[in-house]
């Protein structure tokens, strides 16, 4: 008899997995070869599962959203895992195409708020406050997808309120659908960005912004239609409400931060 390295329970010598915790029994010493093999297995497994999840959301969204709600765990990414990978991909995209992201940030929806904030009547004493607020707005401009990602709780809440009579899902289950939907739009944005970023022009940046807003809405409508048989009008209303509430919350939170930075 030997002991499991994970839980410490006694196990038979011929066991491949611990009968108590399910961990794989490892008897061989570590080698560079085994480390490389384990890393390759982990990475390729992540890639295949992520690609399978993304393909499902594109072709047959209910095979991912409703399957996860129904109990599937092995063959697809969980919504949180999928969101983490999506954000990581966007972060990598930002690093590689930093110049293009700068062009995009100068023309996205936060630029309109920045113009409105800076054009308001101010006193000389408000200069430091303006500098602090501009720092925050500049950060939000460059992290446009993070702002969209923060819409997930609001989309979940409003979809629960609007569709709870259509499908008797609870708030957590609506959160699953909204997480998959919003995260998938971030993946789409990265793919579109890879097409436009090499051009490196203001026109390309503007066309990219217009395209990803259109495709984002279409993708979310598609996922909600297939997952909940949701009406297009109600889903559009949910997105508008979620965007409005999220923007207000972010701006309210930004004001005290601006004063703290002052």
Quick: pLDDT tens for 57-93: 999 999 999 999 998 887 888 999 899 889 888 888 8
pLDDT reported for residue 175: 94
**Helical segments of the chain, H only:** 32-59, 62-70, 79-96, 98-105, 109-119, 127-142, 144-149, 152-163, 171-196, 202-228, 232-261
Is residue 63 domain-resident?
Answer: yes
Of the chain, the percentage scoring pLDDT greater than 70 comes to 69
Q: How far apart are CA 243 and CA 64, in angstroms?
A: 24
User: Are the C-beta atoms of residues 2 and 11 closer than 8 Å to each other?
Assistant: yes
Burial (CB count within 10 angstroms: exposed 0-12, middle 13-18, buried 19+), residue 243: middle
pLDDT reported for residue 120: 52
Which token pair is 234?
């109600």
Tell me the pLDDT of the chain averaged across its residues: 78
Sorting pLDDT into bands at 50, 70 and 90, what band is 137? low
Is residue 152 domain-resident?
Answer: yes
User: Are the C-beta atoms of residues 245 and 124 closer than 8 Å to each other?
Assistant: no
Tell me: pLDDT of 40 over 70: no
Q: What is the mean pLDDT of residues 20-38?
A: 69
Q: Give whichever of 45-54, 126-135, 218-227 has the largest mean pLDDT.
A: 218-227
Is residue 29 domain-resident?
Answer: no
Quick: pLDDT tens for 182-225: 999 999 989 988 888 888 788 888 888 888 889 989 999 999 99
Is residue 250 domain-resident?
Answer: yes
pLDDT reported for residue 30: 64
Is residue 173 domain-resident?
Answer: yes
Number of domains in the chain: 1
Tell me: pLDDT of 257 over 70: no
pLDDT reported for residue 69: 92
Q: How far apart are CA 136 and CA 254, in angstroms?
A: 7
Sorting pLDDT into bands at 50, 70 and 90, what band is 29? low
pLDDT reported for residue 140: 58
Is residue 249 domain-resident?
Answer: yes
pLDDT reported for residue 247: 76
Q: What is the mean pLDDT of residues 139-144?
A: 58
Higher pLDDT residue, 85 or 46?
Answer: 85
Q: How far apart are CA 74 and CA 70, in angstroms?
A: 12
The crossing angle, in degrees rounded to 10, of helices 202-228 and 152-163 is 40
Is residue 42 domain-resident?
Answer: no
Task: For 21, list phi and psi in degrees, rounded to 5.
Answer: -115, -10
pLDDT reported for residue 58: 94
Range of the domain at 216: 55-261
DSSP code string of 53-101: HHHHHHH-THHHHHHHHHT--SSS--HHHHHHHHHHHHHHHHHHTHHHH
Is residue 28 domain-resident?
Answer: no
């Amino acid at each position: 008899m030997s002991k499991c390295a994970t839980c410490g329970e006694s196990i038979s010598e011929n066991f491949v997995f611990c009968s108590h915790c399910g961990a794989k029994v490892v008897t061989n010493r570590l080698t560079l070869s085994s480390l490389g093999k384990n890393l390759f297995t982990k990475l390729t497994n992540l890639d295949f599962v992520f690609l399978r999840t993304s393909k499902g959301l594109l072709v047959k969204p209910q095979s991912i959203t409703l399957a996860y709600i129904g109990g599937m765990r092995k063959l697809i990414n969980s919504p949180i895992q999928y969101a983490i990978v999506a954000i990581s991909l966007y972060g990598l995209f930002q690093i590689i195409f930093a110049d293009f992201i700068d062009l995009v940030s100068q023309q996205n929806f936060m630029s309109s708020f920045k113009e409105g904030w800076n054009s308001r009547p101010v006193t000389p004493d408000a200069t430091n406050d303006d500098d602090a607020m501009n720092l925050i707005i500049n950060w939000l401009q460059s992290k446009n997808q993070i702002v969209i990602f923060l819409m997930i709780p609001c989309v979940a809440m409003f979809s629960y309120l609007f569709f709870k009579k259509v499908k008797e899902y609870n708030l957590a289950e609506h959160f699953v659908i909204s997480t998959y939907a919003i995260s998938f739009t971030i993946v789409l944005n990265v793919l579109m960005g890879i097409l436009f970023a090499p051009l490196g022009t203001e026109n390309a940046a503007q066309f990219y912004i217009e395209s990803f807003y259109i495709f984002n809405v279409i993708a979310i409508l598609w996922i909600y239609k297939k997952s909940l048989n949701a009406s297009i009008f109600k889903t559009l209303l949910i997105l508008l409400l979620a965007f409005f509430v999220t923007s207000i919350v972010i701006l309210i939170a930004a004001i005290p931060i601006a004063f703290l930075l002052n």
